[in-house]
Amino acid sequence: MSAAKDALARGLRQKGLENNFGLADHLILLQTDKKGLSPEKDEFRRWLENIQMEDLESAERMQGLGGAWKMRCRMHGVKVGVAV
């Protein structure tokens, strides 16, 4: 599954694909074991911290990734009360 996450992250770094919400949504599904983003504030915050800092493999993959992935997380963060 790491290879798929890596491929999606690489795709989202491409100029023409960085704002592709379909790719971002697929990456989020893989990152959340097909559960999607949690509606629980604390669970969402823990997940975000884990993939951006604590899990070194994920943190490396996500470093500097913005575009649709970050926008999707920001939009969800607004809903649950977590600043992204």
State pTM to two decimals.
Answer: 0.94
| 65, 24 Cβ separation under 8 angstroms | no
| 27, 1 Cβ separation under 8 angstroms | no
For residue 1, the model assigns a pLDDT of: 77
pLDDT in tens, 24-58: 999 999 999 999 999 999 999 999 999 999 999 99
Amino acid present at 48: L
Q: Is residue 3 scored above 90 in pLDDT?
A: yes
- Alpha helical stretches, state H, 1-84: 2-13, 21-31, 41-49, 56-62, 67-80
Specify the DSSP class assigned to residue 52. Answer: I
